[in-house]
Structure 1
Amino acid sequence: MSDEEHRDSLADQAAAWVPPWDRPRPPAADDTPDNTEVPPDESATAPGQDQEDLGRKEPLQGPELSKISAEPGANASGEVTEGLAGEPGSGAGDVPRRQLAGRRRATAAPEPAPELSDAELRGALEAILLVVDEPVSELVLAQVLEQPAERVGPMLDEIAAGYTAAGHGFELRRAAGGWRLYTRPEYATYVERFVLDGQSVRLTQAALETLAVVAYKQPVTRSRISAIRGVNCDGVIRTLVTRGLIEECGTETDSGAFLYRTTTLFLEKLGLNTVDELPPLAPFLPDDVEELADATR
């Protein structure tokens, strides 16, 4: 065969060649009849795909990914999802249903605290008041017990009235804007004997006089206190500040001198709620107070 005839034969063979994927399937013994449409074999090897790639699952790309993404409520992995708003297939923010359920449980509002009965509320208040070291307000008690403040106030009044009616050696009363348990004045001698145990922790006479001036004249300057008492009070004022009974509260506009006032510890020690409950001075003043004032001028 000449070279020219050989080339014509190769050209004819190339023109007649049919790719394997376009060739008709050979009939099998269990094939369906000719008039039945055979569904495409999804497990067949795609054109150009090696046999070793059949068992490997690759991520979908291109047109296949677009086809799946177009289906409502499906993501790239074929898993049905719901949007954050509860609508299927809401877009890039879609999450699986099981994740959405967990998120809903995590963001659910906490259940309100159960309402205590009157007996439970009374016992809880008494337990707290036994351990406080300073007066505690009704609002703080309501927050701790997770109960309405409208219930706490009347219950405290009821507890205080019950202690008084039963004649206990202690009482519950308001002091420094809150509530605290105190021993009754008629038993002060025995309590003082137990607490002091022979030790003197009393304020000096000078300290008591200075504290009284501050309590009734507050806010007041050092010079004003010294003028009322007639002696220098710098040392006594330092002592009262150190013990926490008085404190600075600004300066006087004209002179720039420091002003002093009593503290909540002062109210607590005296068992008062406000300084307005201090006893009036008029009954303790001498009858000739005006003559004495004129004489000192």
Structure 2
Amino acid sequence: MSDEERRDSLADQAAAWVPPWDRPRPPAAEDTPDTTDVSTTAPLPVESTPLPEESAKAPLPAQGDLGGKVPLQGPESSKISAESGADVSGSGVGESGGAGGVPRREVVGRRRATAAPEPAPELPDAELRGALEAILLVVDEPVSELVLAQVLEQPAERVGPMLDEIAAGYTAAGHGFELRRAAGGWRLYTRPEYATYVERFVLDGQSVRLTQAALETLAVVAYKQPVTRSRISAIRGVNCDGVIRTLVTRGLVEECGTEQDSGAFLYRTTTLFLEKLGLNTVDELPPLAPFLPDDVEELADATR
């Protein structure tokens, strides 16, 4: 075919071509409603025209010439991906499994490089002793060895013997205070031989003290605990409901369940009671025998 005939054929085809929006729509089936959007209807296929030999031999345009919108396919795309290291899958993760093309081994190595925090070094004995003394001076209640060990980040095996050593040192030096174990912990207390001077200083001008009835009730609870209010009243010979409420309000006595037979509330002393008396447990209370009168049996018979 000559060039003139080819131009005439292309001109005829161009003259006979009809735009897609001017073409008649195919009739829809009777049993299926037509829901096709005109704006999204694909154009009808156009009869292809064989390319001339020159256009058939022309090389395909590069991917950059098409604006990156038409991905390459076939072996050429695999070759380009292998040379450039690009991820053609679109997932953003290369074959190595790392995020952003980072090899997985490198990511795992970074995670393993974070070592565990090293334990705190052991304090010298002099520094540990000073730290314990400083804390014991500011506490308002007995503090246990475990709490001290956690605060100082030292093993409890060192804190306990050091507290014993500090207490022995205060006693040997004859200080007016001592380090004593009380209510399950450690606290500084004044020595009993200086109690009169401390009492004179603390109680001078103060009237907030326990009454005689409160002291007697507290003693009954301390030696008979757990005990009910009716039992306390029977021992003292008077009603003690108001006194019990006062002791509970001051935190010296607390409820500890109910009696199995009667269902009455049981009362016991608190850790504040042990702290105020400087005792570790109620077993350290002094025996009552030296304080009982000689004619206690006669008094008991008289009350019956």
Q: Give the TM-score normalised by the residue count of structure 2.
A: 0.70
| Cα offset, 1:282, TM superposition | 1.1
- SS at structure 2 position matched to 1:164: helix
| Cα offset, 1:230, TM superposition | 0.1
| Cα offset, 1:190, TM superposition | 2.5
- SS at structure 2 position matched to 1:239: helix
Could you tell which deviates more after superposition, 167-176 or 46-55?
46-55
| Cα offset, 1:198, TM superposition | 1.3
| Cα offset, 1:289, TM superposition | 1.8
| Cα offset, 1:102, TM superposition | 8.6
CA change 1:35–1:62 in 2 (3 A) is: same
| Cα offset, 1:196, TM superposition | 3.1
| Cα offset, 1:292, TM superposition | 2.1
1:176 and 1:264 in contact (8 A); partners too: yes
Aligned position for 2:254: 247
Identical counterparts, % of pairs: 91
**CA distance in 1 between partners of 2:3 and 2:53 (Å):** 44
Q: After superposition, give the CA deviation of every residue in 1:22-71 in whole Å (9 maximum; x if it has no partner).
A: 999999999999999xx999999995446864997999988788779999
Could you tell which deviates more after superposition, 57-66 or 277-286?
57-66
| Cα offset, 1:169, TM superposition | 1.3
Aligned position for 2:96: 88
| Cα offset, 1:103, TM superposition | 4.9
In the alignment, structure 1 residue 42 sits paired with structure 2 residue 54: yes
2:63 and 2:70 in contact (8 A); partners too: no
| Cα offset, 1:201, TM superposition | 2.4
Task: Count matched residues.
Answer: 288
| Cα offset, 1:200, TM superposition | 2.2
- SS at structure 2 position matched to 1:43: helix
**CA distance in 2 between partners of 1:75 and 1:161 (Å):** 75
**CA distance in 1 between partners of 2:89 and 2:138 (Å):** 61
1:218 and 1:262 in contact (8 A); partners too: yes
1:141 and 1:152 in contact (8 A); partners too: yes
Aligned position for 1:82: none
| Cα offset, 1:109, TM superposition | 0.9
**CA distance in 2 between partners of 1:250 and 1:25 (Å):** 91
| Cα offset, 1:293, TM superposition | 1.8
**CA distance in 2 between partners of 1:55 and 1:72 (Å):** 18
- SS at structure 2 position matched to 1:160: helix
- Provide structure 2 residue ranges, at least 5 long, that are not aligned to the other structure: 37-50
| Cα offset, 1:101, TM superposition | 7.2
**CA distance in 1 between partners of 2:28 and 2:231 (Å):** 120
Q: Give the TM-score normalised by the residue count of structure 1.
A: 0.71
**CA distance in 2 between partners of 1:146 and 1:34 (Å):** 79
**CA distance in 1 between partners of 2:118 and 2:56 (Å):** 57
2:253 and 2:267 in contact (8 A); partners too: yes
Aligned position for 2:269: 262
- Provide structure 1 residue ranges, at least 5 long, that are not aligned to the other structure: 79-84
Q: After superposition, give the CA deviation of every residue in 1:220-257 in whole Å (9 maximum; x if it has no partner).
A: 00000000000000110000000000000001111111
| Cα offset, 1:151, TM superposition | 0.6
CA change 1:27–1:264 in 2 (3 A) is: closer
CA change 1:295–1:46 in 2 (3 A) is: farther
